[in-house]
Amino acid sequence: MQSQIPRQTTLSGIFLVGFMGAGKTSVGRALAQHLNWAFEDLDDRIERREGRHVPEIFRDSGESEFRRAEHAALSDVLAELRAGAVRVVALGGGAFVQENNAALLKAAAFPTVFLDATADELWQRCCQQAAEAGTERPLLRDINQFRELYETRRRNYLQASNTIQTGGRALEGIAAEIAETLGLTRIEILTQQGEVE
Ligand code: S3P
C-alpha cells in the first residue's frame, strides 16, 4: 500500500474513504475486528442525528442539507476521537470530496485510507448490494453517470494519506494490510478474570 504519512504508535482513529461500493463499511468492520477497535459508519450517525434515513434526507431536503448534516456528524466524531475514543470510521462516498470535510480531516491528522477499485467493479458491487440487501443509494443512477462521478471524485480520493487496491481481494487481507502499513497491532484488553479479550 502506498503511504504518505509516518507510522504512528498512538493512533486512535482511521478514516476509510472511497466511492460507493468500495467496501468502506465491510473493510471497516473487518479492520475494527482485526484491531479490537470500535467501528462507526458516518452515515449511521447522520441518520441518528437527523432521525431520518439517508435517502429520505436527499429526497425531502436535498443533497446540500445532507452535506450539512454530514459535516456536522464528522465534526462530532473528530471531537470524540480527540476526547479519547478509539475508532475505525467509514465515510460516505461523497464525504471526503467536500473541501470542508477534507480540511477537517487533514487538520486532525488521522490517516485517511482510500479503498480503490475500478468503476466497473464498484458498479457491480453496488448492483449486487441493491439486489441482495435492497441498499438504496440516492446517487446511484446509471452506469454512465456513475463512471463520470467516479472519475471526477477519484482525484479527491487520491489525496488520502494512504491508497489500497481492493479489486478481487478478501476483506481480511485488506484489513491486515491497512493495519500493517499503519504500524498497528491488536489491542488486548484484560477482563476482570485476567483473560485476554
Ligand atoms: C454518497 C454515498 C453514500 C451516502 C450518500 C451519498 C455519495 O454512502 O453517504 O448516499 O455522495 O457518494 P456509501 O458510499 O456508503 O454508499
What is the Å distance from ligand 1's center to 70 Cα? 10
| Tens place of pLDDT per residue across the chain (197 aa) | 655 544 445 899 999 999 999 999 999 999 999 999 999 999 999 999 999 999 999 999 999 999 999 999 999 999 999 999 999 999 999 999 999 999 999 999 999 999 999 999 999 999 999 999 998 999 988 999 999 999 999 999 999 999 999 999 999 999 999 999 999 988 877 777 777 77
Cβ–ligand 1 distance for 21 under 6 Å, the answer: no
- Looking at residue 141, what is its pLDDT? 87
Distance (angstroms) between ligand 1 centre and the Cα of 20 equals: 6
Predicted local confidence at residue 192, as pLDDT:
72
Alpha helices in the chain (DSSP H): 24-35, 42-50, 54-61, 63-82, 99-108, 119-133, 143-157, 171-181
> What integer pLDDT is reported at residue 165 of this predicted model?
96
Q: Ligand 1, atom 8: nearest CA belongs to which residue?
A: 92
What is the pLDDT, as a whole number, of residue 193? 73
Instruction: Give the Å distance between the CA of 151 and the centre of ligand 1.
Output: 15
Confidence (pTM): 0.92
Could you tell which of 16, 91, 137, 166 is best to mutate to test the pocket of ligand 1, judged by most ligand atoms within 8 Å of the CB?
Answer: 137
Provide the pLDDT for residue 4.
Answer: 54
The answer to whether 158 and 6 have CB atoms below 8 angstroms apart is no
> β-strand 38-41 against 162-165: which pairing, if any?
unpaired
Distance, in Å, from the CA atom of 179 to the CA atom of 173, rounded to the nearest integer, reads 10
How remote is the CA of residue 161 from the centroid of ligand 1, in Å? 20
